[in-house]
Amino acid sequence: MKTIAVAVFGFFYMAPGPVQALQQQTSVQEQRSEPNRTDEERLKKPTKYSDVPAKGEFNDNHSNELVADQDRRVVRESRYKNAYPEITDPGNSPNSTEPGEDSAMTIHDWAAPLNPFPVAPSAAIVVGTVLNGKAFVSKDRTYVYSDYQVRVDRVLKQDASASLVVGEQIVVSRGGGTIHFPSGHIRNYLNNGEGFPAIGSQYLFFLGKPNFPEHEYEQVIGSLYQLDGGEVHPLADEQMGLFDHMSQGVFLSRVEQAIGK
């Protein structure tokens, strides 16, 4: 794929999920234009079927959590340590005139196409409904991510370590989110070509579990699909041409074939 050379900074890492063996180039571009209606969509919804990102505060995101929950969060955050340079309040920048809203876009340049059905690297594959979501800045302030509470509606691939059941709730983590800073500034941390799920909507999730506690997962990149009105809508741009508006029944049948059911 073509390298996009519009970066404030860049770094290399080994991607999770279906592309563990593939190196990617990642860059972040900050977009600072005053938003009109078109820009406002671009600042918040990176793909056609994306919802706005989950929101969170720069400070005090963990204060209402139990110590055990905070400890588990630290374990998960360690996977992404130093993903970004240290995140600071943009509204306190010498060049800032007043609080506003902008975005920081992470651009991935994959070495090969992403697998639309990443069965092997997924600890579990479920159909689930998103109940709520919240964005976080990691404790070391080098990563922004969102946790979504998801109700399991159907289990297509069982997590051998957790024995998921219909009706229970799990945590699904993914990169990006909207952060509100003490100055009043708002920044949307987006991944180019990767959409955010909507609260109340149903999706097919491919769930990785690299070193996470029980019932806590990460969304495998490039493989989130909205199930709506009997049709499928990919949240990743890369899968749009393959599956957009496909019948839900046909789509899930293909997924089950890939799983080996």
**How does pLDDT run across 71-89, given as a tens digit for each residue?**
778 888 888 888 888 999 9
For the chain, percent of residues with pLDDT exceeding 90? 57
Q: What is the mean pLDDT of the chain?
A: 82
pLDDT at res. 97 = 65
> Is residue 147 in some structural domain?
yes
Can you tell me whether residue 41 is helix, strand or coil?
A: helix
pLDDT > 70? residue 2: no
> Is residue 1 in some structural domain?
no
Residue whose token pair is 């839900």: 248
Strands 55-57, 177-180: pairing kind: parallel
What are the start-end ranges of the E strands in the chain? 9-14, 23-31, 55-57, 101-109, 124-137, 144-157, 169-175, 177-180, 186-191, 202-208, 216-228, 231-234
> Is residue 3 in some structural domain?
no
> Is residue 188 in some structural domain?
yes
* Number of structural domains in the chain: 1
Short-list 164, 170, 173, CA closest to 221: 173
Q: Which residue has the higher pLDDT, 31 or 116?
A: 116
Task: Taking residues 174-194, report their average pLDDT.
Answer: 94
pLDDT band per the 50, 70, 90 thresholds, residue 250: very high
- 199: which residues sit within 8 A by CB, 6+ positions away? 51, 130, 131, 132, 133
Which CATH number characterizes residue 92's domain? 2.40.50.120
Q: Which residue has the higher pLDDT, 76 or 129?
A: 129
Task: Taking residues 224-239, report their average pLDDT.
Answer: 97
Contact 253, 204 (CB under 8 A): no
pLDDT band per the 50, 70, 90 thresholds, residue 59: confident
CA–CA distance, 15 with 13 (Å, rounded to integer): 6
> Is residue 4 in some structural domain?
no
pLDDT band per the 50, 70, 90 thresholds, residue 224: very high
Task: Taking residues 184-205, report their average pLDDT.
Answer: 96
Short-list 71, 54, 47, 53, CA closest to 216: 71
Show the CA angle centred on residue 2, arms to residues 112 and 235, nearest 5°: 65
pLDDT at res. 26 = 41
pLDDT at res. 113 = 81
Question: What does pTM read for this prediction?
Answer: 0.83
pLDDT > 90? residue 169: yes
Lowest mean per-residue pLDDT among 7-21, 128-142, 195-209: 7-21
pLDDT at res. 61 = 61
Q: Which residue has the higher pLDDT, 77 or 136?
A: 136
CA–CA distance, 50 with 55 (Å, rounded to integer): 14
Residue whose token pair is 């509606």: 153
Residue-number span of the structural domain to which 56 is assigned = 9-259
> Quick one: tokens of 248?
């839900």
pLDDT at res. 215 = 77
> Is residue 89 in some structural domain?
yes
